[in-house]
């Protein structure tokens, strides 16, 4: 269940973004510009925030709670590949064409997000080159962190599966 999105007071959004992993690496000017298009969104546990392959409508910073990123793994079903903690982001696909989700994101406990509509964020980045020059490296860092964590999780998953299939030899 998603609760209503509430307009963020600029100072509240600036404070929330500044203290997040994502926002802490940005200049005060960049934080203020992003906060200007942001809103707070509270979601209940079990709420699906993004769906793999579907249009990603918003880029969000997780302020409180945790979000599971899940992928469909052949012969295994839906697997949680990563848990996103406060300060990190979800919905980076809203910024990067074709704007389609790369995983299902599900709140595993009540979550508070600072959410920026994808269309407005893309327009802002297109019109403000200095902002884009500061946001895109942070976005790439977020994607890189996500890719590394996902790779390790999948390696662990398949290593455990392979280990379970091996017969124990007496040497």
The pLDDT value given to residue 8: 62
Q: Which residues pair with 17 in a beta bridge?
A: none
Which residues contact residue 6 at a Cβ distance below 8 angstroms, ignoring those fewer than 6 apart?
39, 40, 41, 42
- Chain segment 50-60, per-residue pLDDT in tens: 999 999 999 99
The rounded percent of the chain whose pLDDT value lies above 70 is 88
- Chain segment 40-99, per-residue pLDDT in tens: 999 999 999 999 999 999 999 999 999 999 988 788 888 888 899 999 999 999 999 999
Of 19-28, 81-90, 98-107, 156-165, where does mean pLDDT reach its minimum? 156-165
| Contact (CB, 8 A) for 115 and 58 | yes
The overall pTM is greater than 0.75: yes
Which residues contact residue 53 at a Cβ distance below 8 angstroms, ignoring those fewer than 6 apart?
100, 101
- Chain segment 105-120, per-residue pLDDT in tens: 999 999 999 999 999 9
Higher pLDDT, 76 or 139: 139
Question: Any long-range contacts for 93-98 (C-beta under 8 Å, 24+ apart)?
Answer: 93/50, 93/56, 94/56, 94/57, 94/58, 94/59, 94/118, 94/121, 94/122, 95/59, 95/121, 95/122, 95/125, 95/139, 96/139
CA–CA gap between residue 41 and residue 134 (Å, rounded):
25
């Amino acid at each position: 269940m998603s609760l209503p999105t509430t307009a963020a007071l600029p100072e509240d959004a600036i404070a929330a973004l500044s203290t997040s992993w994502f926002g802490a690496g940005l200049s005060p000017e960049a934080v203020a510009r992003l906060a200007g298009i942001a809103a707070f969104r509270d979601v209940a546990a079990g709420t699906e925030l993004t769906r793999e392959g579907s249009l990603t409508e918003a880029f969000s910073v997780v302020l409180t709670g945790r979000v599971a990123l899940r992928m469909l793994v052949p012969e295994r079903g839906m697997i949680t590949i990563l848990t996103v903690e406060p300060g990190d982001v979800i919905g980076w696909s809203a910024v990067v064409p074709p704007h389609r989700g790369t995983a299902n994101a599900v709140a595993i406990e009540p979550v508070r997000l600072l959410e920026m509509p994808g269309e407005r964020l893309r327009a802002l980045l297109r019109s403000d080159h200095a902002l884009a020059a500061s946001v895109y490296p942070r976005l790439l860092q977020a994607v890189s962190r996500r890719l590394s964590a996902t790779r390790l999780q999948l390696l662990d998953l398949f290593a455990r599966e392979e280990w379970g299939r091996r017969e124990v030899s007496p040497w």
